[in-house]
Structure 1
Amino acid sequence: MSAADFRAIIADREVRIREAWVKTMEVRIAREVLTECQKVEGVNHYESCKDLAARYVGLLHDAKVKGYRKIDIE
């Protein structure tokens, strides 16, 4: 493995980790918006904030920060 290959691997790793953190921050912002909506709407938040809650739950599926190591269990 040459130095250029190693640099490419490191750059790819950093891009993937950065993208994972961006997704995590999107979830955090969505959660803050949902919490604010629930506080403002009070007892009507089930109906008024339904779309925000659905978006938050949808974002949760992809929002985990994964490391760069892959372990083969097979």
Structure 2
Amino acid sequence: MTEGRPKFQHAPEVSFDEIDYRNPQDLKAAQESMLKEQFVRVEMVKMVRKALETCFKVNGPNGYEECRNLADKYMDMLPDYRAQGYLGYQRNDPTK
């Protein structure tokens, strides 16, 4: 690593299963961790969609055959990779 460049600090991954709900710092850390994970997943879907758009532009009329693998990957990602927030999970947590 070169001098002068700050080292990237990864945020700790915190699960709602591991926290004490009475501690506001733990609750906030779990919420932020879940939101960051969801934002990463949303960005992954955006990248696949952008690659699919580019593939269709490059291949023109043959895009349906040439870009089939990207289209399948995009369609598989859509249901699971959307941002849902943390409230639904937090409210339905059986350990509460």
Specify if TM > 0.5.
yes
How much does 1:10 deviate? 0.7
**For this pair of structures, how many residues does the alignment match?**
69
Structure 2: runs of 5 or more not aligned: 1-21
Structure 1 runs of 4+ off > 2 angstroms? none
Q: Cα offset for 1:67? A: 2.0
TM-score, normalization: structure 2?
A: 0.66
Larger RCO (CA under 8 A, 6+ residues apart): 1
**Alpha-carbon offset, residue 34 of structure 1:** 0.2
Aligned with 2:83 (options 65, 68, 74): 65
Partner Cα distance (1:68, 1:29) in 2? 24
Residue identity over aligned pairs, in percent, reads 32
- Per the alignment, residue 20 of structure 1 pairs with 38
With normalisation by structure 1, the TM-score equals: 0.84
5+ residue gaps in structure 1? none
More helix by share: 1
Cα RMSD (Å): 1.3
